[in-house]
Amino acid sequence: MKQAFLTVDLGFGDSGKGSIVDFLTRKHDATLVVRFSGGAQAGHRVVTAEPKPREHVFSQFGAGTLAGADTFLSRFMMVEPFALLEEAKHLEAIGIKTPLNRIVIDGECLITTPFHRAINRLKELARGTNRHGSCGMGVGETMADFVVHGNDVLQMRDFLNNDTLYAKLNFIKSMAQYKLNQLQLPQNDAIAKEMAIFQHPNEIHQLVEVYSSFGKNIDICTSDYLAYLLDKHKTAVFEASQGVLLDEWYGFHPYTTWSTVTLANANQLLREAEYDGKVTRIGITRAYATRHGAGPFVTEAPHLSKNIRDAVNGYDDWQEGFRVGWLDLLLLRYAIDVVGSLDYLAVCHLDRLSEFKHLHVCNKYKHGDKTIQSLPIKKQLEDLEHQSNLTQLLENCAPILTAVSTPEALIAQLEQTRFAKTQP
């Protein structure tokens, strides 16, 4: 029997997607992981205990790799070749033989270049204290160029033709320089570091060499190849990126990603493949709320951010601090309303609750003299004004907290939330 497991992060990211994908791969003998959104900014950590402990933070390879699964990067992924090569080196170092032979990339995947990364970081630095919370990997700039210029930007299939590589890389560099000229930048070491790529005389030539070699050592396919893979592998896990509350259309603008991170892309890939197997949809959440980067976070509790540490999510120069708060059931209901029907809710980091002296959840917000119990979902997809208004609303709300006696009681509230549709 063919079956596909679709995963989706119901928070601001960092909910435990890597562990869930690894678990599903092992439990159901899945042999294929399909990535259906995002880019190299993913950080899905998997730690194994057998036969000897292994740890890897997955970025572009599927998080089922340590469990034996191959990876398919769908056209909805943005590929960063340098990061992927580094990831392959680490996988090989911990015992995965020839990892590049276990990944297939759709030729339509957009390519994130060093120019995209530099402009992304320079824009964030220009914002000063008004940052958007970018990962600084260039993903947003990659998508922004595609929205404006379509297939004139660099795609995976272009790696097979050096003339195309030269032409498109020069085009991307010129676009980046145009953006650079629009910025008002201070003079400091951080700015100088990111500006260096625009002053490198042989950067294009070196990129063509790396990309051309990369293209010769990786399997590049057309989009219809997924139908063959889904039939061949029988059991597949579709691996999410980021979180619904950061979605480009349903997140809280402008603190969002440039990707659709709901299940929309996964559903579309299955439709195009005319998939006739069993589909199971799984939403993923932490047992408490987290956010890495700027943006509204109603249930944030400074004492939790200070005391509840995360193994791989600390302070970094781009997203800055890792923030922790109480589980927000109102936002969880919103995310479920956005995603649609779910078969299961996977709750991660339950073991960390032992570090909480007291447990609370948030079911409602206080906004002035009003009580808010749900957030409205917009009727038109590209209505960013609606999302901006939600951002302003959340920035002026306070949580109404309810004490929870035990972790089991918290799980009971989560189970009720999964079935509690708040939208008509």
Residue 317: what pLDDT?
A: 58
For the beta carbon of residue 29, count every other beta carbon within 10 angstroms: 11
pLDDT one-digit tens code per residue, 181-239: 888 887 888 788 877 888 877 889 999 999 999 999 999 999 999 999 999 999 999 99
pTM: 0.90
pLDDT one-digit tens code per residue, 225-275: 999 999 999 999 999 999 999 999 999 988 888 889 999 999 999 999 999
Residue 128: what pLDDT?
A: 63
- Exposure b/e, 374-383, CB count within 10 A at least 16 = b: ebeebeeeee
The mean pLDDT value of the chain amounts to 89
- Within 13 Å and on the Cβ side, how many CA atoms surround 225? 17
pLDDT one-digit tens code per residue, 351-377: 888 888 888 999 999 999 999 999 988
CA distances from 38 to 66, 75, 291, 333 (A): 21, 10, 17, 23
pLDDT-derived band at 77 (thresholds 50, 70, 90) equals very high
106 pLDDT above the threshold of 90: yes
Amino acid at 257: T
Cα separation, 34 vs 270, whole angstroms = 11
Please choose, from the candidates 11, 8, 9, 7, the residue with its C-alpha nearest in 3D space to the C-alpha of residue 322: 11
Residue 129: what pLDDT?
A: 63
**Percentage of residues in the chain with pLDDT exceeding 90?**
63
Range scoring the smallest mean pLDDT among 59-73, 124-138, 151-165, 361-375: 124-138
Q: Which residues pair with 359 in a beta bridge?
A: 404
| CB-based contacts of 313, cutoff 8 Å, min separation 6 | 14, 43, 290, 292, 322
Cα separation, 92 vs 61, whole angstroms = 12
Torsion on CA atoms 414, 43, 293, 349, rounded to nearest 10: 30
